[in-house]
Amino acid sequence: MSSTQVGRLALPNGRSLSRMAYGVWRLSETQDCTVNANLARIDACLAQGITTFDHADIYGNYSCEDLFGQAIKARPSLKDQIEIVTKTDIMLLSDKWPDTRVKHYDTSPAHVTASVDRSLSRIGVDVIDLLLIHRPDPLMDARALGTCLDNLIDSGKLRGVGVSNFMPWDTDLLQSCMKHRLQTNQIELSLLSTTPFTNGQLAHAQQHRMPVMAWSPLGGGRLLAQAHTPGTAAARLAPKLAELALAAGTDTTAVAMAWLMHHPAQILPVMGSNQPQRIARFGDATHVLMDRQTWYELYELANGHEVP
């Protein structure tokens, strides 16, 4: 067991997630996606106390839940050690859905209920810890969806429900039609995506005591990949991130995660690397001390200007 333990974040329903999560979006793109390789990735997370795994029905053209489920079937004891987050409502143009002729969102009770059943079966668990509505659906019938989600919790298929990419008004609308509380909003948030600090998403989550899950916390890798690309935020940030990483005895990824985790909105980074040596260091973020002025130095480099 690694000495790094990332800790937990309490949800409004009294349950908890690990302080960081591992996202499986890119799992099917990895070179080594055997059951043993995926078990090794899961073990590397567990060694750091990372027990929360972020899925969506659509990941890997509807294949990633299955891939992860094969690992769980190989080691059923994992079910008691992890939390499963998954999402629904995006309908991709896919060979798996031959009747879909346009990419769209579907928050109808029929689709959401069937999607939950498919996710349970693919992952091979009896209950999903958190189901997120993946994107706001302009055709969302909030009363119908809210009742459906409440029923799915009451039936024991879901432990909790949240949203993703929702603006405060979308969240309020859905919440107003539910008896159970929404648990989180999962949004794009990183040094390369700072809009939520000022557009109300983080303020709203704090007001409602909902932790925020940050997707693409490294900007999908651009924070590292563009470090030498002139004119990019990544290039502006790179020297300062490197200096802070050196001082903390870690790498720039850890500093960038510590920057997110320092914020009082209880931001939970959903990490996307599938390389075992990178996964094994996710928890280094908890070793990095971040003070107010350092936070602002990085914020201003990210935005390309001083705060007013």
Residues noted as catalytic: 59
Return d(Cα 60, Cα 175) in angstroms, integer: 30
Which of 8, 15, 26, 111 contacts ligand NAP by CB under 6 A? 26
Which of 160, 162, 219, 283 contacts ligand NAP by CB under 6 A? 219
Count CB neighbours of 230 within 10 A. Answer: 7
The nearer residue to ligand NAP, 23 or 160, going by C-beta atoms, is 23
181 DSSP 8-state letter: P
Our CA dihedral for 35, 36, 41, 46, rounded to 10 degrees, sits at 100
Which of 9, 145, 153, 218 contacts ligand NAP by CB under 6 A? 218
* Interacting residues with ligand NAP between 101 and 160 (CB under 6 A): 134
Helix then strand then coil, in percent of the chain rounded to 5, is 45, 15, 40
Q: Confirm or reject binding of residue 273 to ligand NAP (CB under 6 A).
A: yes
Q: Confirm or reject binding of residue 278 to ligand NAP (CB under 6 A).
A: yes
Which of 88, 107, 185, 253 contacts ligand NAP by CB under 6 A? 253
Which of 51, 88, 164, 201 contacts ligand NAP by CB under 6 A? 164
271 DSSP 8-state letter: E
Strand, coil or helix: 131: strand
Q: Confirm or reject binding of residue 49 to ligand NAP (CB under 6 A).
A: no
Helices (H), 213-281: 222-225, 233-248, 252-261, 276-279
Binding site for ligand NAP (CB under 6 A): 23-26, 54, 134, 164-165, 186, 215-221, 224-225, 253, 270-275, 278
